[in-house]
Structure 1
Amino acid sequence: MRVAFASKDGKHIDEHFGQCRSFSIFELNVEKYKWLESRTVYAEDETEEHESRVAHRVEAIGDCTLLFVCSIGNDAMKQLMKDGIMILKVEPESEVIPQMDRLLNLMRERPPLWLIKSLRRAGEWSE
């Protein structure tokens, strides 16, 4: 399953989804996780409509199952949920790696229902 983080530096979750220019993408399975890439959203024109800006970001992480973000607007949240992407809001400046460690431990021990649903969506849960 792929996990996206709204991050300026790839190490901290420090961006509002609507202003995020870069997403750090990880691959996660029950055995391990690994960083895949950083995906950049091009700088929009100030006159570009809000819906279009949201669409660019949703498209950038469309193959991800989970999104970690410190803040997000209602329109973006609705669009991501419609596309099957689970949103996890965390404290600003939370670190990416500890979040990945927690996810890995949850998967190994006793995954909560929200994580099982996300794993099923990614085709990685068969029970």
Structure 2
Amino acid sequence: MSVKIAFASNDRRTVNQHFGAAGAFSVYELDEAGARLVEVAEFIETAMDGHEGKLAAKVGLLNGCAAVYCNAVGASAIQQLLVKGVQPMRVDEGALIEELLSGLQKCLVNDPPVWLAKHIKQQATSNRFAEDEEWQE
């Protein structure tokens, strides 16, 4: 079982961005064997003016991710992320992505936190229903 985890980062090494103002996200696929970078998305810089529409592209990009790590995240973004099943995770600026992934990998194998266990369960249920449906022409 693998999960996708996103990081608000403009250097691809550390978490160094506020969610709403993030210029880029690095998305990793994580499983028991390790992690691999699967996507880097960059955004055009916009002013932090409280305009809700600018969040839509960022929240949409994270569809299917279990979590997004960032330095800060506003209430509106938290609400939108949770509706999509993405757990917002606040960490200190400069937190190393490699270390966060390593810690998550250990949790994935041993004892996942509630939000991760829930995501894995939902993913398994979704996959099971997809397999149960037969394609007929």
TM-score, length-scaled by structure 2: 0.81
Letter paired with 2:101: M
TM-score, length-scaled by structure 1: 0.87
- Counterpart contact for 1:66–1:87, Cα < 8 Å: yes
CA distance in 1, matches of 2:74, 2:110: 32
State the SS of the aligned residue for 1:79. Answer: helix
**Structure 2 gap segments, 5+ residues each:** 126-137
CA distance in 1, matches of 2:70, 2:98: 14
Residue of structure 2 equivalent to 1:73: 74
| C-alpha spacing 1:31/1:93, structure 2 compared with 1 (3 Å) | same
2:20 aligned to 18, 28, 36, which one? 18
- Counterpart contact for 1:2–1:25, Cα < 8 Å: yes
State the SS of the aligned residue for 1:16. Answer: coil
CA distance in 2, matches of 1:78, 1:56: 15
Residue 63 (1) aligns with residue 57 (2) = no
CA distance in 1, matches of 2:124, 2:104: 17
Q: After the TM superposition, which segments of 4 or more aligned residues of structure 1 sit over 4 Å from their partners?
A: 46-49
1:2 aligned to 1, 4, 10, which one? 4
Residue of structure 1 equivalent to 2:99: 98
State the SS of the aligned residue for 2:106. Answer: helix
Structure 1 residue 48: Cα displacement:
7.9
CA distance in 1, matches of 2:43, 2:88: 19
Residue 51 (1) aligns with residue 52 (2) = yes
State the SS of the aligned residue for 1:37. Answer: strand
* Bigger RCO of structures 1 and 2 (CA < 8 A, at least 6 apart): 1
Residue 119 (1) aligns with residue 120 (2) = yes
State the SS of the aligned residue for 2:52. Answer: helix
CA distance in 1, matches of 2:67, 2:48: 30
- Counterpart contact for 2:20–2:48, Cα < 8 Å: no
CA distance in 2, matches of 1:54, 1:31: 33
Larger CA Rg, structure 1 vs 2: 2
- Counterpart contact for 1:65–1:121, Cα < 8 Å: no
Residue of structure 2 equivalent to 1:31: 33
